[in-house]
Amino acid sequence: MQFSLEETTGIERKLTITVAVEDINNEVNKRLQDLSRRVRLDGFRPGKVPMKVVKRRYGEGARQEVLGEMMQSSFIEAITEQKLNPAGAPSVEAKSDNDEGFTFVATFEVYPEIALNEFKDIIVERPVAEVQESDIDEMIETLRKQSNTFEVVERAAEQGDRLTFDYVGTKDGEAFEGGSAENATLELGSGRMIPGFEDGLVGVSAGEETVLSVTFPEDYQAEELAGQAVEFACKVHKVEGPALPEMNDEFFARFGVSEGGLEGFRTEVSKNMERELRQAIKSKVKNQVMDGLLNTHEVEVPSALAAQEIDRMREQAVQQFGGAQSGFDPKQLPAELFESDARKRVALGLLIGEVVKQREVKVDGERVRAMIEEMASAYQEPQQVIDWYYSNDEQLSQIKYVVLEEQVVDTILDAAQVSEKSCSYQEAIKPAERVEEAAEETEEAAE
C-alpha cells in the first residue's frame, strides 16, 4: 500500500491511497479457491467446480468485496501511521483501477487542535438571593390558584371568572364558518379568544345577552378573516368565580405533606424553593461561563459532528412536541433550523473536552453522590431513587457528565472575573436573557 496526505483547508484532509494489484489479486484468488471447495453448481460434484467457472460466475463479486475491505483496512492503516483523528466517516472516490493497482481518495475532517486561552477574560456575575417569607407566601398563593375550583356566583362576570355561554359570529351580517358554539366555556383573561372578545364579556351576568364588535388580527390563520371586523352575539348561561382551596390537611396532602400542618407545608415549600434557587443560580453562572468560553475561543467545527448534533436536535424537537409516536420523520425538519445552535453545542463540547484533558479534570465521586442525593430528596422514597441511579449505568453516566461539566465550570471560575449581584428570589430564578437574543432585540430596535 502507498499513500499520500494532503492538508486542504482548515481541518479537511485528503488521503490518496494505492493498493497494489498483486495484493488484490492474491486475496481474490484465495477467496475464489475457498469458494470453489464449498460452492454447489448443477453438473458438478461438490468441490470439483473448475476454477474458471468459479471465476466467471463469482470473480467480479469477490473482487468488489475485497476492494471494499482493503479500502477500509488501508485507510485505517494510513490514519494510524499519520496519527490522524477523523471526525466522521470519509467520503471515498475511486480514481484508477489498472495494472499498477487500485487508487482511491478518502476526504475527511479531523478533530481541530484547540489552544486554550487564559480564562481571566471571562466575566461572570453571580446572583446572590435568599428565599424570604414573602416569597413563600407568594408561592403558596400561586399553588392555591393552580388548584382552584369554580363555583356559581350571582354577580356580573369579572376577570378570572369562567363563563358558560353561546355565541354566533357574523361578518357583514352573514355567519362565518367556525364562528359559532353552544355551551362553550371560557375563563376570562386566559387569552384564548381574539383581542377584545374576553374583555367584552366582563360585566355580563347569567341570562344576559350582548353583542361584541371585534376585529381579527392581521396575522390570523384563516386568511378570509384576517384583519376583518366581525360581531359576536353572545348569551351567557352561567358565571362561575374562582374558589381557592382551604389551607387544610387535604390541600397539603396534594403536595406530599402529610404531617406538620401549615408549618410543615411551609417548610416543604421553602425547601423546594431553596433547591430551585440553587439550581437557577448554578445554571446562570454556568451559562455565563460557557458563553465566555465560546466567545474567547475560535473553534472550527467538523461538519460530520455538526450533522450528528443536528440529527439529535431534530429527535429532541419531535419528542418535545409529542411527534415521536406519530411516525413523523425528524429528518423532514430543515437542517438550517438547528445548524447554528448545533455548531455552538459541538464547539462547546470540544472546548470542554480540551479543558478536561489539559487541566486533567477527573469526575469527583462524592459530588456525583451529592447530586443524586439532592435530586432524590424531592421524592418520598429517596433511597429508592439513589439505588436506581447506581444500578443504571446509562443514567449514572449522564450524572457523571453533568458533574464533570460543573467541575470544568469551577476550574474556569477560579481564573475568571467573578462579581456578585444581590437580587430578589424572583429575579434570581427568572431565566437569563441570552446574549444573542439581547443583540437581536437591540438591532431590531435600532432599525
How far is residue 118 CA from its own chain's centroid?
30
Name the band, by pLDDT with cuts 50, 70 and 90, for residue 19: very high
With both helix axes pointing from N to C terminus, report the angle between 339-358 and 393-413 in degrees, rounded to the nearest 10. 80
Least Cα distance to 176 among 135, 113, 230 occurs for 230
Q: List pLDDT tens digits, range 200-216.
A: 999 999 999 999 999 99
The secondary structure of residue 335, as a DSSP letter, is G
| Cell numbers given for 85 | 483523528
User: What's residue 103's pLDDT?
Assistant: 95
Q: Kindly give the residue spans of alpha helices, DSSP state H, lying in 326-424.
A: 339-358, 365-376, 382-390, 393-413
Q: What is the rounded average pLDDT of the residues 316-326?
A: 76
> Which run of H or E residues covers position 21?
helix 21-38
CA–CA dist 397, 263 (Å, integer): 39
What residue has cell string 471526525?
A: 87
Contact of 220 with 193, CB cutoff 8 Å = no
Report residue 46 as a C-alpha cell.
461438490
User: Which has the minimum average pLDDT: 24-28, 151-155, 268-272, 434-438?
Assistant: 434-438
Q: 275 φ, ψ to 5°?
A: -65, -45
pLDDT tens-digit map of 366-381 = 999 999 998 998 887 9
Residues 280, 265: Cα–Cα separation, whole Å:
22
The band of 442, judged by pLDDT with boundaries at 50, 70 and 90, is very low
Per-residue pLDDT of 94-131, as tens digits, reads: 999 888 899 999 999 999 999 999 999 999 999 999 99
Beta strands 174-187 and 162-171 are antiparallel
Average pLDDT over residues 122-142: 96
Interatomic CA distance for residues 293 and 290, integer angstroms: 5
- Residue 88 pLDDT exceeds 50: yes
Nearest Cα residue to 101 out of 200, 216, 19, 184: 19
- The C-alpha cell at 24 is 488484490
Residue 343 and residue 305: Cα distance in Å, rounded?
Answer: 8
Task: Please say if the pLDDT value at position 2 is more than 50.
Answer: yes
Among 278, 322, 305, 268, smallest CA distance to 112 is for 305
CB-based contacts of 234: which residues, under 8 Å, 6+ apart?
Answer: 165, 166, 167, 201, 204, 209, 210, 211, 212
Residue 232 sits at the vertex; the CA angle it makes with 230 and 233, to the nearest 5 degrees, is 140
Residues 6+ apart with CB under 8 A from 298: none
Integer Cα distance of 394 and 406 in angstroms: 19
Contact 150, 242 (CB under 8 A): yes
CA quadruple 146, 149, 153, 158: dihedral, nearest 10: 20
